[in-house]
Amino acid sequence: MRCKERKASIPIPAHAVTLGANVKQFVSFGTVILRLSYEQIKGFLSGTVRFSLSDGEIANILVNEANLLRPEFERLKESIRQQIGAHYDETTWPVQKETQGNHAWVMTGTEHQEAVFLLGRTRVIQNNGF
């Protein structure tokens, strides 16, 4: 007789599951510093700690981490703008899955060692950033 109930082979936990700080830190570090692709990040996590992660979750981690850093980003920009002189520079920078129009910007002041780096697809998108 079928009771039309679903049964999982492994009990589903009653509480929400969240990713730990180490996974979020690795995704951020792997993407920005090591310049790993999403596939490389997923492959590393799968091969070393048997942990699977979707492209969407990687994107969400990066957005959330960027939002956490936003106040410091704005503080740094304002600090540099308040200095006697500032230097702005632009160079091309390859961004994942983009083939043209990738740019990186740097903003530094003349009085302190603070610097701001901004990566983006086109100048139009980033003009509001600096």
Q: How many residues does the chain have?
A: 130
Distance of CA 20 to the CA centre of its chain: 16
For residues 59-98, b (16+ Cβ closer than 10 Å) or e, as one string? eebbeeeeeeeeeeeeebbeebeeeeeeeeeeeeeeeeee
Please say whether the beta carbons of 92 and 67 come within 8 A.
no
- pLDDT for the residue numbered 74: 93
- pLDDT for the residue numbered 111: 94
- pLDDT for the residue numbered 2: 62
- pLDDT for the residue numbered 98: 56
pTM > 0.85: yes or no: no
Q: Which residues make beta-bridge pairs with 22?
A: none
pLDDT tens by residue, 95-123: 665 555 677 888 999 999 999 988 775 66
pLDDT tens by residue, 30-39: 998 898 999 9
Among 29, 20, 11, residue whose Cα is nearest residue 53: 20
